[in-house]
Structure 1
Amino acid sequence: MIADDPSAGVVLAVCAATDDVILDTIGASGIDKRPLAGRIAVGELGLMPDHVVDTKYHGGIEQAIYAYSEHEALRWAEELGRELPSGWFGENLRIDGLPTTDAVVGERWEIGGDGLVVETTIPRTPCRTFAVWAEERRWVKRFLDRADTGCYLRVVTPGSVGAGDAVHIVRRPDHRVTVRDLVSGTTADADALATLLACEDLGPKVRREASRKLAHA
């Protein structure tokens, strides 16, 4: 556990899409995540029960799990004037007490007591499916402008996860680049991005997003 981390986060809900939802102009989608009871097995590609339809842009090793912050969800709920239950953002984990969008890229979290360790990778990029699902005016632009995107996670060590599990930071890189820094339209420090890109163990999607940001920094 990081010595200067004052508190642990907690998993409020574990969510997955066990059935497709059919959206107008889109078709089948796995965005409709619903909370699951009990302990859920997690493998290299994420929650075992979860269903991904568009595998070109969703899922995979670097996007195995999507985490969203309760704090950011409540802020959106207040602005939109509607309840946004766990899973509404298409997230697998609704987390309280620990930053998701403002987590350092490559930060590792230990979740629960069954050995699950995950690593933060890239921000969520909103798409047309998310816009149709949200049914909110100019949703993609508003979501990007706010830049509260949550973060994708790579599974370092498989295990299981359940609502109520504590989330502890067990490693935090010193390059200072956060997931929010990689969101399109945000500003990022060029030196920090260069330090991140010097890391040899970066996944291809993290390297791609960091390279894009450095080109515009």
Structure 2
Amino acid sequence: MTGPQARVTAVCVVHAVVPGYFHDTAIDKRPRPGAVRVEATGLVGDEQRDRGHGGPDAAVYVYADEDAAFFADVLGRELPPGLFGENVRTTGLDVCGARIGERWLVGDVLLEVRKPRTPCPNLAMHVGVTDFHRVFHRSGRVGAMCRVLRAGTLAAGRQVVVESVPGHGVTVADLSAGLTPDQAASLLGSGVPLAAPVRGRAQRVLARSRRDSP
């Protein structure tokens, strides 16, 4: 659930481009003090080195302090904001429990939850734990990739207000774990504009279910 004190705890942009598993990566993000401008393509001063990780439907990556605390316990060390490559770290916001298409008002910036983060080996390399990206994915605590519906500025301390929640009930964690046919049908019939990979996944789940039905 999202409490009345949901807020941003850090805003992060790329600190350095570093060698990755296949090619250089901009996963090394660190907190930026003050207000950071946010455009449709993402945060000013940030960078995306892989088309698969960028684009309008992944312009801003949001991750929760609560989920970072879970992995801090697992790994036995602190996990500072930006370590997972996130742009925005929050507290009091159920990021992975957010519905696909949910909208968050953060100061004057309006974000729409579009899809879960799909981790790659660069995450394991950056954290320094072999196959950590697989553990991260299996947990469902993957964070949310968001589209910028209204540009503005982001800064630590700003309140996060859940402006609207779609009725289909399919969350970021559900989509990350794998949709059931009922969830896929609900998502496709919701009228929510879906990111192409999300729509494609739901369509494949439904097609497979119909093919396998007696």
What's the TM-score once normalised by structure 1's chain length?
A: 0.88
Q: How far does the alpha carbon of each residue in 1:82-117 deviate from its partner, in whole angstroms, 9 at most, with x for none?
A: 1110000100000110111110110000001xx210
Map of 2:88 onto structure 1: 93
**Matched letter for residue 96 of structure 2:** T
Q: What RMSD, in angstroms, separates the aligned Cα atoms of the two structures?
A: 1.9
State which of 77, 99, 106 in structure 2 corresponds to 1:111.
106
Map of 2:79 onto structure 1: 84
Gaps of 5+ in 2: 210-214
Map of 2:141 onto structure 1: 148
Q: How far does the alpha carbon of each residue in 1:12-38 deviate from its partner, in whole angstroms, 9 at most, with x for none?
A: 000010431234x54421000000011
Report the Cα distance in structure 2 between the residues aligned to 1:6 and 1:142, rounded to whole angstroms. Answer: 28
Report the Cα distance in structure 1 between the residues aligned to 2:63 and 2:117, rounded to whole angstroms. Answer: 10
CA contact under 8 A between 2:2 and 2:94: conserved in structure 1? Answer: no
**Residue 45, structure 1, aligned to residue 41, structure 2:** yes
Report the Cα distance in structure 2 between the residues aligned to 1:166 and 1:180, rounded to whole angstroms. Answer: 23
TM-superposed deviation, 1:69: 0.7
Instruction: Name the count of aligned residue pairs.
Output: 208
Map of 1:137 onto structure 2: 130
Query: By percentage of residues, which structure has more helix?
Result: 2
Map of 1:60 onto structure 2: 55
Map of 1:16 onto structure 2: 13
Q: Secondary structure at the match of 1:31?
A: strand
What's the TM-score once normalised by structure 2's chain length?
A: 0.89
CA contact under 8 A between 2:61 and 2:86: conserved in structure 1? Answer: yes
CA contact under 8 A between 2:2 and 2:93: conserved in structure 1? Answer: no
Of 170-179 and 126-135, more deviation after overlay is shown by: 126-135
Report the Cα distance in structure 2 between the residues aligned to 1:134 and 1:5, rounded to whole angstroms. Answer: 28
